[in-house]
Amino acid sequence: MKRDCGRVVVFDTTLRDGGEQTPGVAFGARDKVEIASALEEAGVDIIEAGFPAVSEEEMDAVAQVASTVSRSEVAALARCNTGDIERAINSGASLVHVFIATSDTHMHYKLRMNRDQVISRIRDSVERCSSSGIGTMFSPEDATRSDREFLFRAIATAVEAGGARWINIPDTVGVMFPPSSMFEMVREVHSAFSTDLSVHCHNDFGLATANTLFGIAAGARQMQVTVNGIGERAGNASLEECVLGGAEAFLGCRTGIRKDRLYDLSRLVAEKSGVPVQPNRAIVGGQNSFSHEAGIHVHGVINEPSTYEAFDPAIVGRRREVVFGKHSGINAVIWAFRNRGGMEIDEEEARAVLRSIKASGGRITEDEVVERFESAR
């Protein structure tokens, strides 16, 4: 696997796949603008603000996002039809993301179109976008379940229609397995076309992050993600996992993301979407993600954090914490006091604190331990 994959473009679709397509979530214009500002502040390159054909309110929300952000590019989604495309072009976005399904299942049961009809829609749509001078991204929806030869014909049509800046490969129902098959597919497309590629993976089998990273390793230059992985059904690849895993830990890519903003961004999206973040979620989870309780683990982390931490919590704006309970030992108590503003307690005091912790049986945070000690003094 590549170790230096260069600069990867982060395309965030929290406001479209996350906002419009997560069951029960619908961001209003004010929420979209607030989240878009936070995404821009966090260094997202492209913000997919919405799907203007859905309603006047959605069109207006996209326009408001486009007039608010200046450092991030704004994208708007459109099906391959004239009405959708004109609305997306007029929404204020600078990138129109046109899509049409290329799998037999979708073409037959949803679009009720044959292959030639789909091809001519792709040609007309990409031509219309490029003649308007707006940036264009083309997605063959359900690409990973499409007949490979037809998929290549669809992509070739978009490329030949001129002007498509990006070809996006969606794993629409999250079924690409093993992730090495995503690698192979993206590599094939990458070697056949010179247009920059993007990957868009859903999480129906918990494979969205793995498939995104394998797509990037195979040569895609853009990852499509959402904050907290919200999105249609089981959601999309999550921004925080893909950026940290892709950019930092495994592939050696760079992004423009300010990782110390990830936690606040995650809280904001959880609050506005009403979709809570599970306590043990990677990177942006509740305090569980960076807490240590078992005596052996705490001892290891106190001596050398890398014993039980994959990365320093401070990188993502978090703090390491020791949680006390029946597994706790005296070293952890002494460490917790030092960790809280350098308070030193002696061994006897630490033993008394430990007895009180064990007597209470439950999980106690560092703050609670210090408070108890101070009030018993």
Q: What span, in angstroms and rounded, lies between the C-alpha atoms of 238 and 12? A: 9
Q: Which is nearer to Zn ion, 22 or 291 (CB)?
A: 22
Token pair of 131 as six digits: 């003649």
Which of 2-10, 167-175, 320-328, 329-337 is the region at the interface with ligand KIV (rule: CB under 6 A)?
Answer: 167-175
Query: In the set 20, 58, 84, 141, which binds ligand KIV (CB under 6 A)?
Result: 141
Candidate list 125, 139, 212, 222; residue touching ligand KIV; CB under 6 A:
139
Query: Using CB under 6 A, which of 172, 195, 203, 238 touches ligand KIV?
Result: 172
366 binds ligand KIV (CB under 6 A): no
DSSP notation for 17-51: IITTTSTT----HHHHHHHHHHHHHTT-SEEEEE-
Beta carbon of residue 205, minimum distance to ligand KIV (angstroms, whole number): 14
**Cα 71 from Cα 207, distance rounded (Å):** 31
Phi-psi region of 223 (alpha: psi -120 to 50; beta: other; left: phi over 0): beta
Nearest distance in Å: CB 49, ligand KIV: 14
Please report how close the Cβ of residue 370 comes to ligand KIV at its closest, in angstroms: 48
Region class of 89: left (phi > 0), else alpha (psi between -120 and 50), else beta:
alpha
- Torsion angles phi and psi, residue 34, rounded to 5: -65, -45
- The residue among 17 and 366 lying less far from ligand KIV, judged by its C-beta, is 17
Point out which residues pair with 99 in neighbouring strands: 79, 139
Contacts of 20 (CB under 8 A, 6+ apart): 26, 27, 50, 51, 54, 58
Our measurement of the distance from residue 304's CA atom to the centroid of its chain's CA atoms, rounded to an integer in Å, reads 30
Contact between 299 and 333 under an 8 Å Cβ cutoff? The reply is no
Should residue 259 be labelled a site residue for ligand KIV when binding is judged by CB under 6 A?
Answer: no
Binding mask 6-25 for ligand KIV (x = CB under 6 A): -----------x--------
d(CA 169, CA 223): 10
Near ligand KIV by CB under 6 A, which window of 39-47, 164-172, 242-250, 300-308? 164-172
Could you list the beta-strand ranges (E) of 266-332. Answer: 291-292, 321-322
Site membership for ligand KIV, residue 195 (CB under 6 A): no
Stretch that binds Zn ion, among 11-19, 94-102, 275-283, 293-301 (CB under 5 A): 11-19
User: By CB under 6 A, is residue 293 in contact with ligand KIV?
Assistant: no
Mark 16-35 with x for binding to Zn ion (rule: CB under 5 A) and - for no binding.
Answer: -x------------------
Burial classification of residue 158, based on how many CB atoms lie within 10 Å of its CB (0-12 exposed, 13-18 middle, 19 or more buried): buried
99 binds ligand KIV (CB under 6 A): yes
Binds 99: which of Zn ion, ligand KIV, none (CB < 5-8 Å by kind): ligand KIV
For ligand KIV (CB under 6 A), the number of binding residues is 9
Which positions touch ligand KIV (CB under 6 A)? 17, 99, 139, 141, 168, 170, 172, 200, 202
Which positions touch Zn ion (CB under 5 A)? 17
